A and B are shown apart, each in its own frame.
Chain A
Amino acid sequence: MSAHLSTEQLWGAPSAEAVAHLEGCAGCRAEQQQVVAARALLQAARPPAPALDPIAMRRIGVHLKEAAQEQAKRRGFWPFAFHPAWLLAAVAAMLAVVVVSRIPPPPTPIVRPQPAPAPTQLAVTPPPQDDPVPPAPVVEPRKPLLAKVTSARKAKGAKKAQELTEGAVVATEKGGALWMQLPDGSRAGLTGSSQLKLDNLDEKRVAMTLEKGSVVVNARHLPERVLSINAGEVEIRDVGTRFLVSRDVNRVLVAVEEGVVEVNAPGSTVTLKAGRSAEWREGRLVEAAWAPTTPPPPAPVKVVSPPTPAIVAVEPPPEPAPAPSPVVPTNPEDEYALPENLPKTTVTAPPTSRPPAPPPVPVPAKPAPPPEVVPETAEEEEASVLSLAGIELRVKKLTRAVASPFASVGGSMRETRVREIGRLADEGNCEEALTRADAWLADKVSQSDDEGRWRRNVLVNQLRCYTKLERDADAARVKKQLQ
């Protein structure tokens, strides 16, 4: 109440009743004295404010102007930065990033499979995104390099000592051969009727595409360099080795002489070691044994007229010779010993829309053209160690081994049994081969024009098995029949 009485401003004029109470209450009077003293303190402590120093006023004004300008800059930026249009643009950009990240990247040229030549193969080709695409290796500036042809015979688009750039296509005619030195020191050799495209030649990556035929690669071990060959849907990458790639109409064969290669096919990846091979056919990658790295036995040679010391020719094989040959066995294929008990594993591709029955397999039934070796230089002498002719023969033998399970499709049963006998003989299962050969010979002769050729094949395989089993008398009997 004393406070009320002392603050007329706050509560207005004190009432008469309050004044009367104050006169009769000693405590209230004491309290009022304190209030009055406090207000006097306020009056004494706060004399009128002095004027602000003009210099200080200007100094503060300059500082405040700078602060206002600084804030104006910030406020000028942030409203612009948080404009709704920018937010919409940011959301749209994020959506675009999400959409783009879900789109699979386009395949790089090194892994793009060549168009499959056979319609049946097209039907079973998995979508491209299923391809085991290796990462694009190069980001640094590329240094395109050159490949050099070291020897060429019956070659198209290349001659000896010619330098090849990226994109060059080299081909060989039937019976031709071509060796080239790749920029990394590796060597590649084309057999007859082959065609190879040089996709990429630089320090980091050497990539080629085998468009047809066979190529032998003797690769240097360079960890920083990737060497790959595309053959249709199959990609072969090596890590320092010697291997063979052969491409037919609807199959690709990879055989490893030394080292290790990686074979990437749609839905399947196989790492092949020396002595192993893999064949891609009808959407399946079939792994099998490969002939040992020993060179093929020397074939009987004759000097081609006019006699040229540098050119020798292998005697052409007798098949499909209508008349019996005086030499037994006449087919050079049959003289090349295959390892016995060929192991065989199958790497199955993921489920595809492959038709249930595979189409007829055009197995190269005809023998290889007469391979010719042209040892003109030291390089070719090295190449002769891995004879292209021998390679071709082994390719055919392996092809026959792999293709025999499919041979029954589209062919006559009698011919199929001939192929089966040959496969058993190749595998070294001579007892079974002989049993089936006897049964085949005892059956009724068909009216086919190929009956004579089939019979000769069966006899040749009989002779191989008798020789292998050291049944000399039977071998002599069959040899006599062949003659």
Chain B
Amino acid sequence: MSAVAAVFPFMSADFATADPLRALEIAARDGESTAFTQLYERTHQLAWGVLYKVVGPSSDLEDLLQESYLQLLKALRGYRGESKVTTFLHRVCVNVGLMHLRSKRRRPEDPTDELPQTEAGEGSDPERAARVKQAAALLQKALSALSEEKAAVFTYHELLGLKPEEIAELVEAPVNTVRSRLNRARQDFTEAVAKLGGTP
């Protein structure tokens, strides 16, 4: 018996196994705090990965993860179930991450936000770790230089690996619009990297 079936025995097995996250989302939307906790336990790795892809190695990741789920908790009320819960969680995490990057750009440089030396598991190769650190800083600056729309589609495609059709669902825009927006985002990103002098 799955956890969903244990929590909601009235649900049919087919419904619970078809999209267990969906069942948890429904329960969480109806005020079941236990269901929301289970939804977190099942999806936190996914959210963590998305945030890491968007923000990069940062000491703020845990806070951003918590903030993402708080945003999800609020947004569940307006969630109509037209997309998968994971897709919805993707969008929330990307928005939170990009918001974090933009806020960091407006803030003065925080010295405590230095990348940990062993963050990427490159402790055995200091030279490579330094390259990763330099590339991550360059990526953050180049991403924050993009507009909000371009940064979103660029992140979805280049960092998270989503297809244009999936991105179109997330940003609620036609697929061709997503493609053209992604093309311009890529050009802007390349120019920004060249301007910043980053040639890895």
Contact = CB atoms under 8 A, between A and B. Distances in A.
Interface of A: 3-4, 7, 9-11, 31, 34-35, 37-42, 44-47, 49-53, 56-57, 60-61, 63-65, 67-69, 71-72, 75-76
Contacts of A51: 45
B46 to A, nearest CB: 10
A60 B53 contact: no
A68 B73 contact: yes
- Report the 7 A-B pairs with minimum CB-CB distance, sorted nearest first: A72-B31, A68-B33, A49-B52, A45-B135, A45-B139, A44-B135, A68-B36
B190 A61 contact: no
Given A10-B179, A65-B37, A60 B164 contact: no
B138 A60 contact: no
Contacts of B45: 51-52
Contacts, number: 119
Contacts of A34: 190-191, 193-194
A455 to B, nearest CB: 105
Contacts of A40: 200
Contact of A47 (B48, B121, B182): B121
B36 A60 contact: no
Interface string B101-141: 00000000000000000011110000000011001101100
8 contacts: A3-B183, A3-B186, A10-B182, A38-B193, A44-B132, A47-B122, A60-B44, A64-B66
Nearest to A70: B33
Contacts of B158: 39, 42
Nearest to A65: B37
A64 B40 contact: yes
B95 to A, nearest CB: 18
A41 B200 contact: yes
Contacts of A57: 44
A242 B133 CA distance: 104
B189 interface: yes
**What does DSSP make chain B's interface, helix, strand, loop or mixed?**
helix
B149 interface: no
Nearest to A37: B199
**What does DSSP make chain A's interface, helix, strand, loop or mixed?**
helix
- The range of chain B's interface size is 35 or more
A44 B120 CA distance: 11
A47 B120 contact: yes
A53 B182 CA distance: 34
B186 A35 contact: yes
Contacts of B28: 68
Given A37-B193, A71-B31, A46 B159 contact: yes
Contacts of B36: 64-65, 68
Contact of A41 (B65, B73, B163, B193): B193
Interface in B20-63: 28, 31-34, 36-37, 40-41, 44-45, 48-49, 52-53, 56-57, 62
Contacts of A47: 120-122, 132
Contact of A42 (B57, B66, B139): B139
A45 B56 contact: yes
Given A44-B135, A45-B132, A63-B66, 14 more contacts: A35-B190, A37-B199, A40-B200, A41-B138, A41-B142, A41-B200, A44-B131, A45-B56, A45-B136, A50-B120, A65-B37, A69-B33, A72-B31, A72-B32
B12 interface: no
A64 B69 contact: yes
A150 B194 CA distance: 115
B187 A65 contact: no
Given A64-B40, A67-B73, A7 B186 contact: yes
A76 B32 CA distance: 11
A246 to B, nearest CB: 78
Please indicate which of the listed interface residues A42, A65, A69, A75 has the most CB atoms of chain B within 10 Å of its own CB. Answer: A42
B100 interface: no
A65 to B, nearest CB: 5
Given A57-B44, A60-B44, A49 B49 contact: yes
Contacts of A72: 31-33
Given A45-B139, A67-B73, A10 B157 contact: yes
Please indicate which of the listed interface residues B33, B40, B164 has the most CB atoms of chain A within 10 Å of its own CB. Answer: B33
A190 to B, nearest CB: 77
A53 B119 CA distance: 12
Contact of A46 (B48, B56, B157, B183): B56
Contact of B48 (A9, A49, A67): A49
B125 to A, nearest CB: 12
B174 interface: no
Nearest to B196: A41
A377 B175 CA distance: 114
A450 to B, nearest CB: 98
